[in-house]
Amino acid sequence: MEKTIAGKRIAVNEEGYLTNFSEWDETIGEDLAKEAQITLTPAHWNLIHYIQDEYKKEVPLTIRKIGKSGVVDIKGLYQLFPTAPLKTAAKIAGIPKPASCI
């Protein structure tokens, strides 16, 4: 299915995750963040770029790995994205929903 994000028609799945990462740009990230009621700060962007890099390297995302990344600690992660941090960050970053349980 498609959805209008930042004025563009973008392919998303039924949960609203982008299905084609190459369609993502920062205006789309900002629009999706607004939808999740999050105001993006430089700290948010650092994390978004980090998880995008991990996605490109095909490294599965876990809370523990983010905690050890040096980008943000786990407490900080929950402050940036208080509700469902990994999923929310992944959605804003235009990458698939994390399949991890930890």
Partner 1 sequence: MNDNGQNGHIRKMMIILSKSGLESVYAAFVLANGARMEGIEAEIFFTFFGLDAIHKKKLNHLHIATVGNPSMHMPTLIGGLPGMEALATHMMKKEMEKVDMPEVPEFIEILKASGVKLWACKLAMDMFHYEKGDMDDEIDGVLTVGDFYKKAEGTGVHMLFI
Q: Which residues belong to the active site?
A: 101
Residue 85 falls in which region: left (phi positive, over 0), alpha (psi -120 to 50) or beta: alpha
Could you give the CA distance from residue 47 to residue 38 in angstroms, rounded to a whole number?
A: 14
In whole angstroms, the minimum distance from the beta carbon of 85 to partner 1 comes to: 7
DSSP state of 75: H
Judged by beta carbon, residue 48 or residue 77, the one nearer partner 1 is: 77
| Encoded tokens for 99 | 């399949």
In whole angstroms, the minimum distance from the beta carbon of 76 to partner 1 comes to: 9
In whole angstroms, the minimum distance from the beta carbon of 25 to partner 1 comes to: 25
Residues 34-73 that bind partner 1 (CB under 8 A): 60, 62-65, 67, 73
- The helix or strand, by DSSP H or E, that contains position 11, with its residue range, turns out to be strand 8-11
Q: Which residues bind partner 1 (CB under 8 A)?
A: 60, 62-65, 67, 73-75, 78, 82-87, 100-102
